[in-house]
């Protein structure tokens, strides 16, 4: 197999990591909504935590994007 | 292809050379200290922020006008966030956190203007900002608590027999902070801008296919408008996230034993 092909296949496989980030981010938002609908008065004070959890989880998806970029442009 | 190439927007070009060091005069040899378009937009950001802050706080009236109101809201927003995560002791870092937040926020927002350069889409810029944060945290923590700063790696309330597992995890998480902090901002902005250009590039290629193409081009155009709105959200959220994480790391420096 040509090395050039393997690069593109690898970059494509690396994007699968985003599925994990999607599961994580969706779980954060759905659980936040569940909690917020049960106790709306406490929801406003937790948006900071929501954004923080979102950012930390999303970073892992960004890492897989980075792996794809490195495979495409650096390797 | 330069018009629809999604990577073309990140090219750094020299505006003028300040001085050269070393090299034998040929192209690409030695060090070239140049004022680039990246530097131009950093200067533009600093000038815009300073002008806004000076203008909005020039009156300093007890009953604020609208402009003063906006900068006070921005101040309160970051001050509350820092106080809640790093305590009142952490408030001595308020100028640092506020400068970082507003520099990244305005840099991101400026970059969304068509044909403008986004300096936060370059890993070296975000990595420099992240290293600045980590060095401030480490140096201040060591100065303030001495060797007690290393209690950071052994959270209080953890039973002794778990410590051999917890300490390596804490060390790895501490060491990966500059990477995750810089790559988060860089990756979000880079991915957003590439997506935006890829979708709006479809408008150009479809428009070249005649009137049927123009009808079809409405779809990617709508997507481009929606993505631009999303990018404004991402620009603000990422600046906020950077500030939140900075204040959480500063909390470790101020109170290392959790």
Q: What angle (nearest 5°) sits at the alpha carbon of residue B145, between those of residues B139 and B149?
A: 70
Task: Give the whole-angstrom CA distance, residue B189 versus residue A27.
Answer: 23
Q: Inter-chain contact B241–A62, Cβ cutoff 8 Å?
A: no
Residue B227, both tokens: 């993505």
Q: Spell out which residues of chain B touch residue A66, defining contact as CB-CB under 8 Å.
A: 183, 187
Task: Please determine, for residue A1, whether its predicted confidence score (pLDDT) is greater than 60.
Answer: yes
Contact A62 B84 (CB under 8 A): no
Question: What distance lies between CA A69 and its chain's CA centroid?
Answer: 16
pLDDT at B258: 62
State whether residue A48 sits within 8 Å of chain B by CB. yes
How many interface pairs between A and B have CB atoms less than 8 angstroms apart?
36
pLDDT at A69: 83
Compute the distance between CA of residue B82 and CA of residue B245 in angstroms, rounded to an integer.
Answer: 10
Selected for mutation to probe chain A from B78, B184, B185, B243 (highest A CB count within 10 Å) is B184
B184 part of contact set with chain A, CB < 8 Å: yes
The domain that holds A63 is classified in CATH as: 1.20.20.10
Cβ within 8 Å, pair A59-B180: yes
- Taking the CA of residue B180 and the nearest CA in chain A, the distance in Å comes to 7
Decide: B119 and B38 in contact? Cβ < 8 Å: yes
pLDDT for the residue numbered B2: 45
Residue B199's Cα: distance from chain center in Å?
Answer: 24
Contact assignment for A62 to B81 by CB distance below 8 Å: no
Low-confidence residues of chain B: pLDDT under 70: 1-4, 24-28, 258
Instruction: Say how many domains are in chain A.
Output: 1
Res B28: pLDDT: 67
Higher pLDDT, B52 or A49: B52
Instruction: Give the model's pLDDT for residue A28.
Output: 94
Number of domains in chain B: 1
Interface contact B11, partner A, CB < 8 A: no
pLDDT given for residue B64 in this prediction: 81
**Position B222 in a domain:** yes
In a domain, B94, yes or no: yes
Domain that holds residue A70: 3-74
Is residue B1 domain-resident? Answer: no
Query: What is the residue range of B64's domain?
Result: 8-254
Summarize pLDDT for A18-43 with one digit per residue, the tens: 999 999 999 999 999 999 999 999 88
At B1 the pLDDT is 43
B10 close contact with A: CB closer than 8 A: no
Task: Sort out which chain A residues have CB atoms less than 8 A from B241's CB and list them.
Answer: 51-52, 55
> How does the average pLDDT of chain A come out, rounded?
88
Quote the ipTM score. Answer: 0.74
Contacts of B115 (CB under 8 A, 6+ apart): none
Report d(CA B246, CA B240) in Å as an integer. 10
Is B70:B62 a contact under the CB 8 Å cutoff?
A: no
Tell me whether A51 touches chain B (CB under 8 Å): yes
Q: Could you tell me the pTM of the whole model?
A: 0.86
Residue B2 lies in a domain: no
Q: Do the Cβ atoms of A51 and B84 come within 8 Å?
A: no
């Amino acid at each position: 197999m040509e090395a050039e092909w393997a690069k593109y296949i690898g970059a494509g496989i690396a994007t699968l990591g985003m599925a994990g980030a999607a599961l994580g981010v969706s779980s954060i938002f759905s659980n936040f909504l569940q909690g917020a609908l049960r106790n709306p008065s406490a929801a406003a004070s937790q948006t900071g935590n929501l954004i923080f959890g979102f950012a930390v989880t999303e970073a892992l998806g960004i890492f897989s994007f980075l792996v794809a970029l490195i495979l495409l442009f650096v390797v | 292809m330069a018009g629809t190439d999604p990577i073309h927007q990140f090219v750094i070009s020299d505006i003028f050379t300040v001085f050269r060091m070393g090299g034998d005069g040929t192209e690409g040899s030695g060090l070239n200290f140049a004022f680039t378009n990246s530097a131009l937009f950093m200067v533009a950001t600093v000038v815009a922020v300073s002008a806004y802050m000076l203008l909005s706080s020039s009156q300093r009236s007890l009953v604020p006008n609208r402009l003063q109101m906006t900068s006070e809201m921005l101040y309160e927003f970051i001050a509350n966030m820092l106080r809640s995560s790093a305590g009142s002791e952490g408030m001595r870092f308020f100028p640092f956190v506020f400068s970082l937040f507003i520099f990244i926020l305005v840099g991101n927002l400026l970059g969304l203007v068509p044909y403008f350069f986004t300096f936060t889409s370059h890993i070296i810029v975000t990595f420099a900002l992240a290293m600045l944060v980590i060095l401030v945290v480490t140096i201040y923590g060591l100065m303030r608590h001495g060797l007690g700063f290393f209690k950071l790696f052994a959270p209080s309330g953890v039973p002794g027999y778990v410590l051999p597992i917890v300490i390596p995890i804490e060390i790895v998480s501490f060491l990966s902070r500059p990477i995750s902090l810089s790559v988060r901002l860089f990756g979000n902005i880079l991915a957003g801008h590439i997506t935006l250009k890829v979708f709006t590039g479809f408008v150009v290629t479809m428009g070249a296919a005649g009137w049927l193409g123009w009808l079809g081009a409405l779809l990617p155009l709508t997507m481009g408008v929606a993505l631009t709105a999303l990018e404004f959200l991402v620009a603000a959220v990422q600046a906020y996230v950077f500030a939140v994480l900075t204040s959480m790391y500063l909390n470790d420096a101020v109170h290392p034993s959790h």
